[in-house]
Amino acid sequence: MRVCERVTGCSDDAADAAQDAMLAVFARLPHLELEAFNLHGYLRVAGRRAALERMRTRHRSVPLDHIAEPVDPAPACAEHVERQELARAVRTAIRELPPRQRKALFESAYEGRALVDIGEALGLSANATAQLIHRARRGLAQQLTRDETALR
């Protein structure tokens, strides 16, 4: 038992290894020549081999205190679904904007273009383009608010 404990470093594993060693010796007893037999040495070698085998094949166990609680995927799934629903609602609301507002908003928000560049493409001044984008955002917000209210 002491040899097994020195190898494994754990009294539980040592007890299991000692039991494995005793069973192995017991199974080999009929084949041993008992006249020139050193039982003590034979048991020590069998114990060391059993302990090494147990260490090689065992799975490292971790105390339950060291295991973190599993993360519940439900909140992440719910957030993902909410984001998908919001994205769908935004796409639908953008499609309902007038074409010039949709184009100005897209170029401003998604392409990051300057008001002057957007205005040139639409034949507007920078101030008129800013007003157009403001109306597009306000219309988008109103549409999303209506959709949210309708869902309740």
> pLDDT of 4-29, one tens digit each?
999 888 888 899 999 999 998 888 88
Return the minimum-mean-pLDDT range out of 19-23, 29-33, 94-98, 121-125: 29-33
Q: Is residue 70 one of the residues assigned to a domain?
A: no
Q: Is residue 89 one of the residues assigned to a domain?
A: no
Provide the percentage of residues in the chain whose pLDDT is more than 90.
Answer: 34
Higher pLDDT, 58 or 87: 87
Residue 132: domain span: 94-151
Give tens-digit pLDDT for 26-50. Answer: 888 888 777 777 878 888 999 999 9
* Pair 12, 53 in one domain: yes
Supply the pTM of this predicted model.
0.47
Sorted by sequence, the CB contacts under 8 Å of residue 148 that are 6+ apart come out as: 89
pLDDT of residue 38: 80
Q: Is residue 71 one of the residues assigned to a domain?
A: no
d(CA 1, CA 7): 10
Structure tokens at 144: 């999303």
Q: Is residue 74 one of the residues assigned to a domain?
A: no
Q: Is residue 75 one of the residues assigned to a domain?
A: no
Sorted by sequence, the CB contacts under 8 Å of residue 97 that are 6+ apart come out as: 105, 136, 139, 140
pLDDT of residue 103: 92
d(CA 39, CA 43): 6
